[in-house]
């Protein structure tokens, strides 16, 4: 009995079988269609990585490292690059939707692979819910800044709040300041679900458009901030913490590079995967690093390091201080809203594809790998994922969700 359980836990799935399962062999297995181009896949990586972090990370890390935070971005990029190279190599060898789950199944065995899949599903699910709740907060603020409309609290907050005290996960229900449901967050997840159900090709196109808008907004910031650039703000380059501060900031900035792994979940739907997957992962890392460094240089060139605390470091506030007008700041805030939309879309996509791969291997019910013949999408899996993420986003506060991530 024990030996059979151990044998099942440690059994591996050969790489050729993993790859063969992605081909339409007429054996009744579900298969996805290859329609995502290299450019769209690069936009997947950029869209999943550039979230709201770059809009506000400077307020936390410039006080730690000073102007030398630029070096912190480079160090974090190098660390992320090591992981990216691993994903690039593995995804080209095993171009399937399971990502790390499938890589573990081929090398470490079924038991560890299932554990990896569970971790990925939890990570993607909680992250998608947290990002959706954050999106709701940005939409609420943007709507007020543009129109002066204040959404009622009952429809922008869930009934659960953090109780405080020694237990960071202690919760209270229907306390003062809570609401009934976070409706904007539910709307975001629903919109992403509808888009995903139309097919990977349509989702990739929509994401590419959103990412281009996101990059255009960041480019606008770089150009406007560059017009008021003052090199004196970089003196002294290191603060009193020296290189220790640079290292500490790099450790935190590393998390702004999280998301590149989502590219590998498109392994079964990208054209020429053995070539395009590694190219997309590395290209996305280079683009993201370039924008992060340029934004940091532009922001530091506009105001001294001592001003980078709290809201003064928000990119929207910096633009408003430069131009003396509210519209650039509102435009940047709109860019943050679009940024979060694309992140949520890609995270939901990745989660559904991982569940699809696990189900195809027989470790989950078959409903998770049923593919609609018209859209070539795992419809039931996508809907189930969206429902669970919507429920979490509707009722759980952002503080608790970010702690769980």
Does 377 score more than 80 pLDDT? yes
Residue-range domains of the chain with CATH: 33-404 (1.20.1740.10)
**Residue 156, phi then psi, degrees to nearest 5:** -120, 0
251-305 tens-digit pLDDT: 888 888 888 889 999 999 999 999 999 999 999 999 999 999 999 999 889 888 7
| Gap between the terminal Cα atoms of the chain | 37
For 177: left if phi > 0, alpha if psi spans -120 to 50, otherwise beta; the answer is: left
More confident residue, 342 or 313: 342
SS3 sequence, 11-66? CCCCHHHHHHCCCCCCCCCCCCCCCECHHHHHHHHHHHHCCCHHHHHHHHHHHHHH
Cα 219 → chain centroid: 20
Average pLDDT over residues 214-232: 88
pLDDT 10s digits, 88-106: 999 999 999 889 999 999 9
Residue 40 in contact with residue 220, Cβ under 8 Å? no
Query: Quick one: pLDDT at residue 25?
Result: 42
Strand partners of residue 270: 36
Residue pair 61/69 in contact (Cβ under 8 Å)? The answer is yes
pLDDT confidence band for 324 (50 / 70 / 90): confident
pLDDT at 191: 94
**Which range, of 43-52, 78-87, 392-401, averages the lowest pLDDT?**
392-401
* Three-state secondary structure readout of the chain: CHHHHHHHHHCCCCHHHHHHCCCCCCCCCCCCCCCECHHHHHHHHHHHHCCCHHHHHHHHHHHHHHHHHHHHHHHHHHHHHHHHHHHHHHHHHCCCCCCHHHHHHHHCCHHHHHHHHHHHHHHHHHHHHHHHHHHHHHHHHHHHHHHCCCCCHHHECCCEEECCCCCCCCEEECCCCCCCCEHHHHHHHHHHHHHHHCCHHHHHHHHHHHHHHHHHHHHHHHHHHHCCCCHHHHCCCCCCCCHHHHHHHHHHHHHHHCCHHHHHHHCCCECCHHHHHHHHHHHHHHHHHHHHHHHHHHHHHHCCHHHCCHHHHCHHHHHHHHHCCCHHHHHHHHHHHHHHHHHHHHHHHHHHHHHHHHHHCCCCCHHHHCCECCCCECHHHHHHHHHHHHHHHHHCCHHHHHHHC
Residue 215 pLDDT grade (very low, low, confident, very high; cuts 50, 70, 90):
very high
pLDDT of residue 276: 94
Decide if pLDDT at 155 tops 80.
no
- Can you tell me the mean pLDDT for 194-222? 92
- Considering the entire predicted model, what is its pTM? 0.88
Residue 82: count of CB within 10 angstroms of its CB: 8
Whether the pLDDT of residue 356 is over 70: the answer is yes
> CA angle at residue 212 from 206 to 216, to 5 degrees?
150
Q: Are 132 and 125 in contact (CB under 8 A)?
A: no
């Amino acid at each position: 009995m024990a030996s059979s359980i151990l044998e099942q836990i440690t059994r591996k799935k050969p790489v050729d079988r993993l790859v063969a399962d992605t081909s339409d062999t007429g054996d009744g297995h579900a298969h996805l269609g290859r329609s995502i181009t290299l450019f769209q896949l690069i936009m997947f990586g950029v869209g999943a990585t550039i979230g709201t972090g770059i809009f506000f990370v400077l307020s936390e890390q410039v006080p730690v490292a000073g102007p030398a935070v630029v070096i912190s971005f480079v160090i974090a990029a190098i660390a992320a690059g090591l992981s990216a190279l691993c994903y690039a190599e593995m995804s080209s060898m095993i171009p399937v939707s399971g990502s790390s789950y499938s890589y573990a199944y081929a090398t470490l065995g079924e038991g560890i692979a299932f554990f990896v899949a569970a971790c990925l599903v939890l990570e993607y699910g909680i992250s998608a819910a947290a990002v959706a709740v954050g999106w709701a907060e940005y939409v609420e603020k943007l709507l007020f800044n543009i129109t002066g409309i204040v959404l009622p609290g009952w429809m922008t907050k869930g009934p659960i709040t953090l109780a405080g005290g020694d237990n960071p996960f202690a919760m209270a229900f229907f306390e003062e300041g809570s609401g009934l449901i976070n409706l904007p967050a539910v709307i975001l997840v629903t919109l992403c679900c509808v888009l995903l159900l139309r097919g990977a090709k349509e989702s990739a196109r929509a994401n590419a458009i959103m990412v281009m808008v996101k990059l255009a907004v960041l480019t606008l910031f770089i150009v406007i901030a560059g017009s008021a650039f003052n090199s004196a703000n970089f003196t002294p380059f290191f603060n009193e913490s020296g290189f220790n501060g640079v290292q500490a900031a790099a450790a935190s900035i590393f998390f702004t590079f999280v998301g590149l792994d989502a590219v590998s979940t498109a392994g079964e739907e990208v054209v020429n995967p053995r070539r395009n997957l590694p190219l997309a992962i590395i290209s996305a890392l280079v683009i993201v690093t370039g924008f992060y460094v340029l934004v940091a240089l532009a922001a530091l060139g506009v105001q001294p390091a001592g001003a980078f605390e709290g809201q003064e470091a928000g990119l929207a506030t910096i633009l408003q201080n430069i131009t003396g007008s509210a519209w650039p700041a509102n435009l940047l805030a709109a860019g943050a809203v679009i940024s979060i939309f694309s992140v949520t879309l890609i995270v939901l996509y990745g989660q559904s594809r991982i569940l699809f791969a696990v189900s195809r291997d027989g470790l989950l019910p078959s409903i998770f790998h049923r593919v609609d013949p018209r859209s070539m999408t795992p419809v039931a899996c996508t809907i189930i994922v969206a429902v669970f993420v919507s429920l979490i986003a509707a009722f759980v506060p952002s503080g608790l969700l970010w702690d769980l991530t």
